[in-house]
A and B are shown apart, each in its own frame.
Chain A
Amino acid sequence: MATVSEFKIDLLISPKPELRNPEGETILQDLLLRNNFDYVTSVSVSKVIQLIVKAENLEDAKNKALIICDELRLYNPLVSSCTIRGTE
C-alpha cells in the first residue's frame, strides 16, 4: 500500500500582465521611486494560498491542488494566472 504523506503546496495567484495592478503601481510610484530606488521598473502584487495536502508524492499533491484550483476557482483565470509550487 502506498504511503501517504503531507506536502506543502503554494498557489501563487498573480494578476495577468495586461491588467493594471494598482497595489503594485502604488508601491512602485509612492514607495520605491519616491525613495530613489529607481532601478525598479515594475511591481506587481500577488497572493499566495498555502495548502497542506495529503498525497502519495509531490506530483500527486500538485495535481490534487490543481483540481481544486480548477473546480472551485481558487483563482479567476480571466484576470489571474496560478503557479503551483510544492515541498515535502
Chain B
Amino acid sequence: MAILQFPGTNCDIDTYRVFNELLDVEATLIWHEKTTDLEKFDAIILPGGFSYGDRLRAGIIAAYSPVINQLKKLSLKGKPIVGICNGFQILVESGLLPGALLTNSNLKFICKWVDLKVETNNLFTNSFQSNSIIKMPIAHNEGRYYVNEDKLQELERNNQIVLRYSDSEGNTSLDNNPNGSISNIAAVSNSDGNVLGMMPHPERASDSLLSPYSSDDGIGIFRSMILSLEVMLKE
C-alpha cells in the first residue's frame, strides 16, 4: 500500500498502523513531491487531514500536485485508490470522483460517530453483508456532498453510491444526515468502481479497543480491498 502525505495530512500514521499492525499488510508513507513510481504499489490511500490548510477550497491545491497525474493514469488501469475525508476532497477536486464537497449545512465542524448503510457490494465493501449498518466517525467541515439531479441518477444506476448516512435501522432520512449531503451520500466510487471517496474515517474504527462503540467496522473497508486485490492479483 502507498499512503500519500501532503502538507497538512494528519491521518497518515493512523492509516499506516492499521495496515502494518492490524492487517499485517506492508504500507509505505509517500511524500507527495517524491518522484516514486506508484505503479509498484497494489493500492493507494489518500488519508485525511487539512492539506494546504484547506486554502481556497478543501483539497484543491493538493489536486494540482504532480502525484495526481500518476493517480489519474493508475486509476484508468484499475488500481484501487481510496480517499478518506480530505483525501476524498482531493479526489473530487482532481476530477477522479464526481461531485463537490461543500461546507456542512450547519456551518459547523462535525466530529461524531455515525451509522452508515452499505449500499453497494464492490471491491471496498465485499466483506460486509449487503445492506449492513456500520459505525464509523466523521470529522469534517466540508462534507456536504453535491451532484446535480442527472448525475445523482447516474450514480444510482451505476451503483456508485457506496455508503449513506443512516440511523441504526438503516433509514436514510434527513434526520440522520449530519452535513446536508444530497441523498445522504457518505461515500461514492468512480464508474469503474476502483476509486473510492469517503467522508467517514475507517482507520479510526479499525481497532475495537479504541472505539467507543467497540466498532471495528472501518477495517472492513480495507479488508475488502485486500481480499479483492488478492483475487485480482491471482488472475
Contact = CB atoms under 8 A, between A and B. Distances in A.
A20 B56 contact: no
B106 A22 contact: yes
B64 A72 contact: yes
Interface string B58-100: 0010011000000000000000000000000000010000011
Interface residues of B, number: 18
Nearest to A26: B107
A73 B102 CA distance: 15
Contact of B105 (A22, A72, A74, A78): A22
A22 B106 CA distance: 7
B103 interface: yes
Contact of B56 (A22, A26, A74, A78): A74
Interface size class of A (residues with CB under 8 A): 10 to 19
B113 interface: no
Contact of A20 (B64, B99, B105): B105
A19 interface: yes
B100 A79 contact: yes
Interface string B141-159: 0000011100000000000
Nearest to B105: A22
Contacts of B104: 22
Interface in A53-83: 72-74, 76, 78-79
Interface of B: 56-57, 60, 63-64, 93, 99-100, 102-107, 146-148, 180
16 contacts: A19-B102, A20-B180, A22-B103, A22-B104, A22-B106, A22-B107, A23-B103, A23-B107, A73-B60, A73-B93, A76-B60, A76-B93, A78-B99, A78-B100, A78-B146, A79-B102
